[in-house]
């Protein structure tokens, strides 16, 4: 929580132009934004093509296994 105090030390409460300039950087903001919003790799179960591909392979392997067994 904030607690107000009397500025008896006469601390500067307004930033200088140099302080503002030091932190003004749109490329850094864009970079941070990208980092935060970058979507992770799609999970397997949400990728229908990959899911079908793996299902077909599993069926082939199963049929091969059953053929060998018989």
Partner 1 sequence: MSEPEIIALAKKDRKHFGALYNYYFDQIFRFVFKRLGGDEDNAADLTQQTFIKAMANMDKYEDRGFPFSSWLYRIAQNEVSMFFRQQKRNYSVPIDENRIQDLAEEAEIFSSHMSAEDQEKLVGFLNNLEESHLDLIELRFFQELSFKEIAEIYSVSEATAKMRTYRILERINKQWKNEE
60 binds partner 1 (CB under 8 A): no
Contact indicator for 38, 32 with CB cutoff of 8 Å: no
Contact indicator for 54, 44 with CB cutoff of 8 Å: yes
Q: Which range binds partner 1 by CB under 8 A, 14-22, 38-46, 48-56, 60-68?
A: 14-22
Distance CA 61, CA 58 (A): 5
Q: Which range binds partner 1 by CB under 8 A, 1-9, 43-51, 57-65?
A: 1-9
* Overall residue count recorded for the chain in this entry: 70
11 binds partner 1 (CB under 8 A): yes
9 binds partner 1 (CB under 8 A): yes
Q: How many residues bind partner 1 (CB under 8 A)?
A: 27
């Amino acid at each position: 929580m904030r607690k107000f105090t009397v500025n008896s030390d006469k601390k500067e409460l307004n930033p200088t132009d140099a302080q503002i300039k030091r932190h003004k950087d749109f490329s850094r903001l864009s970079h941070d934004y990208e980092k935060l919003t970058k979507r992770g790799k799609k999970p397997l179960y949400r990728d229908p093509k990959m899911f079908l591909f793996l299902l077909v392979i599993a069926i082939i392997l199963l049929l091969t296994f059953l053929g060998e067994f018989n």
